[in-house]
Amino acid sequence: MPILANAKKALRVSKKKTLTNRRTKSLLKTFIDKVFKLPTAETAAAAFSKIDRAVKKNVIHKNKAARMKSQISKVIATPAETTKLIKPAKTVAKKKAAGKKTAAKKVTSKKKSV
């Protein structure tokens, strides 16, 4: 626990800021999830608003906000059925292939000591 008065105050302030930041992040995540579940212009506009407010309050960085907006725009531009079919197939194929190659290299690299 802090001993000095200014350290005690800093602790109180940081706890308050943590709560407000947590609320902002929670709302942000909720609205972004709504966009991915129901990609419409209205949900996207609401999510953009929450993203901009989070940047204004310094909860997230402006580059992260730009990345989020870009991802939301891509989801709205493409039909929902094609995005669900493409994403899981690509990630599963890459992970399985990478695991087999590394195991083969480890076995062949052993040397005998003299």
List, for residues 26-57, the tens digit of each pLDDT value: 999 999 999 999 999 999 999 999 999 999 99
Alpha helical stretches, state H, the chain: 5-37, 41-56, 62-77, 80-108
Are residues 47 and 31 in contact, defined by beta-carbon separation less than 8 angstroms? yes
| 7-12: long-range pairs with CB below 8 Å, 24+ | none
pTM of the model: 0.64
Average pLDDT of each block of 10 consecutive residues along the chain (114 residues)? 94 96 96 94 95 96 97 86 51 53 54 61
